[in-house]
Amino acid sequence: MKPTHIEHIGIAVDNLEESIKYHEEVLGLECYGVEEVPDQKVKTAFFKVGDTKIELLESTDPDGPIGKFVAKKGPGIHHMAYAVPDAAAKLKEAQEKGLRVIDKEPRKGAEGLNIGFLHPKSTHGVLTEICDHKE
Ligand code: ZN
């Protein structure tokens, strides 16, 4: 199953407010939504760039995935998210091909997307998110 586009690029930040300011004042993008996702222990901010979005991720808990990432690697690009017609089918396909996955089945992410992650050990170092917009 072929992705239709890059849904978003996830960027881990250590200061959401400052990073929003940079994206607005320097890059000229407009933040259209800020959302807390308690499940992932993050606060997110979104910007549209054509069909793709930029998702800023600030940790709300040092033990959460973004908190650990920033502590280890510092702020920066965290993941790539590919939009597919059916995330559940794509995750299944990846597992059938022997890939290590973080999510065997999709769960609800920010903006109501169905999301699942492939493990960076199986994706040449890039934490890869698969998502669809199904209800
Ligand atoms: Zn994401």
Q: Read out DSSP for 55-105?
A: EEEEESSTTSHHHHHHHHH-SEEEEEEEE-S-HHHHHHHHHHTT--BS-SS
pTM as predicted: 0.91
Give 54 Cα–ligand 1 centroid separation in angstroms: 9
Give 38 Cα–ligand 1 centroid separation in angstroms: 14
| Interval 15-54: pLDDT, tens | 999 999 999 999 999 999 999 988 889 999 999 999 999 9
Give 117 Cα–ligand 1 centroid separation in angstroms: 9
